[in-house]
Structure 1
Amino acid sequence: MPFHLHERLAADTWTVKDLALCRVLLMNDSRYPWTILVPRREGLRDFHEVAKADKAAFQGEIDLVSAVLKDLTGAHKLNVAALGNMVPQLHVHVVARFEGDAAWPKPVWGLGEAVPYPPQEAELLMERLRKGLHG
């Protein structure tokens, strides 16, 4: 069965890269460097549904994206979460946080309106992410 990205994720993000298991997305909100990992497996809603054979790869890719994002941004803290209340497709948010950012110290969800990236700025960040994820 082919992989389909949930329409809400597709509308709110830019595609960075496909890793072995997950599609890596950049949330189109320039207030926070924010990536989303989506396992390219149909029908997944929650962590316990990830096949045993995919679990190590899933965690490894979350760790990799987290390390690259922290390295690129110098974030004070990374928030890693899988909520799925609005989008039922399993996806994991990795958000670079800084003391004094628009939501600090609260969660980023539901505070204010997203500020879309100018396309050139998004492409530059995605290229930096791709380079970090390559090695």
Structure 2
Amino acid sequence: MSTTTEAEVESQGKTTTVALHATGHVRDRMDQPHQEFSFEGDTLRDLLETLFDERPELAEMLIAETEAEATTSGWAEPPENLPGKWHKNPEGEQTKPYARVLIDGKFNEVLDGFDTEIEDGDRVSLVYPFIFCC
């Protein structure tokens, strides 16, 4: 049985419009890589659900469904005691290696992940850079 939170009740029926931008491989897949995008709700999760319903191939490019899809070999081992507060988004709410979602220039991982609140006029960027290797 699903319960509805107070924040979900408040966001129902609310429409938010953001400046949606895409770079790299995501840009190549979008008809308009720079556009205004409106969706019902007020969180990054609401925006992504709406966008991915319209363009499921973007979810396949950006979102890692498992921990294995979210990691890549070659990352340096982090020091034992990292400064500040560090956390990962939960499994299924992470981006694939090198892909990122930003709100006003900040990675969603350093905000509230997919539960980050979004306001009218915010800039949301979908980033999947071109990577060329040997």
Q: What is the TM-score normalised by the length of structure 1?
A: 0.29
When Rg is computed on C-alpha atoms for both structures, the one with the higher figure is 2
Larger RCO, structure (CA 8 Å, separation 6 or more): 2
TM-score (norm 2): 0.29
Normalized per residue, the structure richer in helix is: 1
